[in-house]
Amino acid sequence: MDMRASPVCVGLESPSSSFPVRIYTRPNPVPRNKTLGQTVDVAFASSSRLLLSQFRPPRLLCCSSNTDSSSSFLPDNGDNVDDLSSPSISVDGVHIELKTLGNNRRRIRSTVAIDAPLHVVWNILTDYERLADFIPGLAVSQLLDKGHNYARLYQIGQQNLAFGMKFNAKVIVDCYEKELESLPFGQKRDIEFKMIQGDFQIFEGKWSIEQFNRGTEDDSWIDQEIHTTLSYFVDVKPELWLPVRLVEGRLCKEIKLNLACIREEAQKAICKTPRTL
């Protein structure tokens, strides 16, 4: 049988991952005297190298911390936290910092200023099933369970690779919505997150929205000068088969794009809000 025209499905799966990564590709023509087993081996090796060289991590919008929220996002005393792996950068108004924690682990902090009140940004982040509508690369964001200040999500991140191939990553994440906190000149609210099943060993952190007001308490939010900052903190450690250095740069770019998209969505919401006299 001539196998040259038949597509080959290659499955890449780490030992601890529950989700196989499948790539569908058509291998280069091979001599007829090669066996089917040799053909599949060649396709597997070629696809593996291509996946590692062009891997783009999925955009994971929401996850959470443990239910009791006892685990601190800050490093323990035993953590080996180096200085910034690279200088902090600010592109298109999005500020990003990267730290090395050792053992194939990174910490990323990103912030962006948004011309919208806290509740507008909060409503965007917690409208979980609509996230895929405006976040590029987030193919699916499905709400599996919802409780008081709690949500469990099923998400699929999808990226296009070279030669028409696609990379898919599936995750299940828990989100814990913290109560609104009062600040001396504003307010703050967080969403802590943790991946409970997926393609990383560690992927946890939080979203933090801080609003600072300049005006009187009697003013409506439309008449006040509002300064809102959206921050994203994440600790990430890929599976053993994927060195973090291969993905940290692309991950920073994805986070930057996520925050920029949320900022744009919040500004659209403000434009749709009727102004009162």
Taking the complete model, does pTM exceed 0.85, yes or no? no
Place of tokens 């939080």: 206
Q: Sketch the domain layout of the chain as residue ranges.
A: 8-54, 84-272
Q: Find residue 168's DSSP bridge partners.
A: 158
The pLDDT value recorded for residue 183 is: 92
Place of tokens 């050792």: 102
The CA-based dihedral angle spanning residues 2, 6, 12, 18, taken in that order and rounded to the nearest 10 degrees: -120
121 close to 266: Cβ distance less than 8 angstroms: yes
Residues of the chain predicted below pLDDT 50: 1-27, 29-85, 221, 277
**What is the CATH number that goes with domain 84-272?**
3.30.530.20
pLDDT tens-digit map of 34-61: 443 443 343 334 444 444 444 444 444 4
